[in-house]
Amino acid sequence: MTIVTRFAPSPTGRLHVGNIRTALHNWMFARAHGGRFMLRIDDTDQERSEERFVEALHQDLAWLDLEADGEARQSARFDLYQARFDALVAAGRIYPAYETSQELDLKRKIQLGRGLPPIYDRAALALSDADRSRLEAEGIKPHWRFRLDHGAPIEWGDMIRGHQRFDPATMSDPIVRRADGSWLYMLPSAIDDVDMGITHVVRGEDHVANTALQIQMFAALGSTPPTFAHAALLTGAEGKLSKRLGSLGVDQLREAGVEPQAIRALLARLGTSDPVEPAVDMQPLLAAFDFARFGRAPARFDEAELMQLNARIVHQLPFEAVRDRLPRAMTPVAWEAVRPNLSTVTEAADWWGVVEGPVTAPAPALSADDGAYLAVAAEEAAAIDWDGDPWHVLTQRLKECTGRKGKALFLPLRRALTGRDHGPDMAALLPLIGRDRALARLRGGSGG
């Protein structure tokens, strides 16, 4: 069997962290087993679906390097849905119901008041043809429900949650089509999964109850259900479900300087006991990917952890991978010099600004002793050979002639040369600054 997974977003907004994780898991499972990963645009909600979000979705998946092997749009498949719908109506598995939303709300309140579960009472099934004709003559259009089979429990083996069991008698017959003819999620999704040959449905645990309903839909369609995996939902660093996670989009992550490799590396392991590692190459992650390694506890997403992981990813990126995002004059040598000190690639431009100058030493101002020390440093810097290792030659000569060592030896030089107290290795940075700029900065720091 060729494994076929699918990612089925609705184009009503940008992809957020939860969406990305679902897409990644589907893509990884398919790639790990030599299968196919399909993209399905669930745009049946034509009022809220926007083409700009479809375009953004394609851009986001491309940036994350999650290439689909095929694509479908639900808005182009209405004829298929209608044919399957008509067949299910004829078979008695879908029936019209005429209650208004207000009437349904009242029924639920009454049931709750009596200590009963608020499930649909199937009153519409007791209507006669004459009753239905009268209601429609009064201008009441029906919505349509899928009739659940109460004969046996709904059971399946979930790749993450294990054995699942639902009693259909405790569930409402789901509405599959509104009175205006528009489709709700579950029936078109099941029809598409059958038609597209989806073998595995990977999604969040908030869909577990939907899966129970859809399993009966698959049977009514004459098809074997896919295998399911329901991943635990993400929580924020504070341990609670975070509204921010529901809006933290790919565009925001990209603007914050997060690398796609960091997002993939974190979300591939989040929810497992496996260590999160700064994997630039996906192959090690694919080789270890197994839904049996995922737990049922909520998965904790920590933006601070993502940024730490991002820095470790950036430290591995070669110049060719980032050159289009660096200042035009920045060289491979300069990238290698500043890379160990970066959290994001965009920070390289700041350090290139330090190389090219001008720089201003940070407060507090240098002491008189440090000013005299920098005057000596300028004299020594003018006398050394800059073709070799000027930093170590310069600091060794200053150590010998001034007796300084440690922080007193190095910090005034770094502050005068870079305007900062911390940063990349000065042995790598000083040759980039160059003799003339270095002399000017040392003389400026000395007051000369």
Enumerate the known binding-site residues for ATP.
243
Element (H, E) at 5: strand 4-7
Q: Is 308 exposed, middle or buried (0-12, 13-18, 19+ CB in 10 A)?
A: middle
DSSP string, 268-309: HHTTBSSPP---SSSHHHHHH--GGGB-SSPEEP-HHHHHHH
Nearest to 265 by CA among 248, 283, 287, 280: 280
**Residue 100 CB: number of other CB atoms within 10 A?**
11
DSSP string, 385-401: -TTS-HHHHHHHHHHHH
Q: How far is CA 90 from each of CA 93, 95, 408, rounded to the nearest angstrom? A: 8, 9, 89
Binding site membership: which residues? Answer: 243
Looking at the chain, the number of H-run helices and the number of E-run strands are 19, 12
- Residue 3 CA to residue 204 CA, distance in Å, equals 19
447: left (phi over 0), alpha (psi -120 to 50) or beta: left
**Residue 98 CB: number of other CB atoms within 10 A?**
19
CA dihedral (412, 417, 422, 426) positive or negative:
negative
**Residue 250 CB: number of other CB atoms within 10 A?**
23
